[in-house]
Amino acid sequence: MYYFRRIFGVVVVTVSNVVLICKIVKMILPIYLYGQPVLRKATDEIEPGDFDLKQLVADMQETLTAAEGCGLAAPQIGKSIRLFIVDGSDLAEDFPECAGLKKTFVNPEIIEESEETVSYPEGCLSLPGISENVVRPRTITIRYQDEDFNEHTDTYTDFAARIILHEYDHLEAHVFTDRISPIRKQFVKGKLTNIAKGKTSARYRTKH
Ligand SMILES: [Zn+2]
């Protein structure tokens, strides 16, 4: 999901009283745009040891920072696996519920959604130049694992819930324009076709 933000991280490791500053080598990955089949594919559960999850998450965080987004799902970097990251920490001034929201969600499952809904504009790094109102539950409860495969169950509201639901949708092979009204779908149809044909520009690295 797209929103302006800035974050940079360094990992500090202490070994036998010696403090080493280890910068994980991170890579900015291309973001797959609308029209890429991977955005419409079912995603697989991740098992411990399948691949270097921490490296992939570090690369996704670097990619998200470079793109100034607030969420990124694995299908958006070409991987059909159940993983997304969110970083709403820079949004806390406008959305207090996003304070400290910098997290990795592995094998997530939405287990509860409120009946109360909220409509608000969304954008997506895979659909540059499009912003449309999307109706979503105001509150959600999600069960997921972190990067160390520890289980968590958390409840989120308002914009924090929206970011998470937007990214979760990517794992279910949806993009946010699937959820807009039929009349707005007609309105964005041409824009989506252009993105799929590569007739778009973004200030971050993309693949189309
Ligand atoms: Zn998105």
Residue 122 CA, ligand 1 centroid: distance in Å = 9
pLDDT at 18: 55
Per-residue confidence band for 2, with pLDDT thresholds at 50, 70 and 90: low
Residue 22 CA, ligand 1 centroid: distance in Å = 31
Instruction: Give 54-105 pLDDT, tens digit per residue.
Output: 999 999 999 999 999 999 999 999 999 999 999 998 999 999 999 999 999 9
Distance CA 196, CA 104 (A): 28
Neighbours of 142 (CB within 10 A): 20
Q: Are 84 and 168 in contact (CB under 8 A)?
A: yes
pLDDT at 79: 98
Two structure tokens written together for 43: 């995603």
Residue 170 CA, ligand 1 centroid: distance in Å = 7
More confident residue, 133 or 13: 133
Nearest alpha-carbon partner for 160 in 96, 102, 98, 111: 98
- Return the SS3 of 28: coil
* pTM recorded for the entire structure: 0.90
Q: Are 88 and 167 in contact (CB under 8 A)?
A: no
In percent, the amount of the chain with pLDDT more than 70 equals 89
Which residues place a Cβ less than 5 A from the ion ligand 1? 124
Distance CA 5, CA 71 (A): 11
Residue 39 CA, ligand 1 centroid: distance in Å = 10
Residue 146 CA, ligand 1 centroid: distance in Å = 20
Amino acid identity of 80? Answer: S
Residue 53 CA, ligand 1 centroid: distance in Å = 21
Distance CA 26, CA 104 (A): 16
Active site residues: 167
Residue 29 CA, ligand 1 centroid: distance in Å = 15
Per-residue confidence band for 39, with pLDDT thresholds at 50, 70 and 90: very high
Averaged over 50-57, what is the pLDDT?
A: 97
Domains annotated for the chain, with CATH where assigned, are 30-207 (3.90.45.10)
